[in-house]
Amino acid sequence: MRAPQKKTNRVEKVNSLIQHILGPVLHENLRGADGIVTITKVETSKDLRWAKIWISIVNGDDDAVLGTLKNNIYEIQGELNRMLEMKIVPRISFHLDTGARYAEHINEIFKEIEHEREDNGNE
C-alpha cells in the first residue's frame, strides 16, 4: 500500500507563481467592478493540469465578480499561458473563498454577546 503523497515543491512553486501572475491580471480584468478581490489560495493538481483559484471578495457582489471572471476566463487563461513558462499550463477555474467572511460573521456574533453581557451586568 502506497503512502499518500504530499504536495511537491514543484506544485507549491507553481501555486505561488500563478498567484503572483494572476493578481495584476485580475485587477485589470475587474477594473470598474465594485469591491476588492484577493486571491487567497491556489490549488494546482499534482499533474499540473488544473488549478483552482480561490478568491475573496470584500464590499462587492459575489455573483457579479464571479460572472465577470467567468466571462473573461479565456483572456485570463491566455495571460497566464503567456506569462507562465511551462510546457503545460494548468487550466484555471475560480472559486469563492468564504472563510474570511465567515470568520468576520463569527467575530460579530462574539461582539454582540459581549455587548449583551455588558448591558446585563449594568442592570
- Rounded CA gap, 121 and 8, in Å? 54
Q: Where are the domains of the chain?
A: 9-98
- How many Cβ atoms are within 10 Å of 52's Cβ, its own excluded? 16
What pLDDT is attached to residue 5? 57
Region of 101 please: left (phi>0), alpha (psi -120 to 50) or beta.
Answer: alpha
What's domain 9-98's architecture?
2-Layer Sandwich (3.30)
Write the pLDDT tens digit of every residue in 51-102.
999 999 888 888 989 999 999 999 999 999 999 989 999 999 999 998 777 7
Mean pLDDT of all residues in the chain? 87
- How many Cβ atoms are within 10 Å of 73's Cβ, its own excluded? 15
Q: Please tell me whether the overall predicted TM-score, pTM, comes out greater than 0.85 for this model.
A: no
- How many Cβ atoms are within 10 Å of 55's Cβ, its own excluded? 20
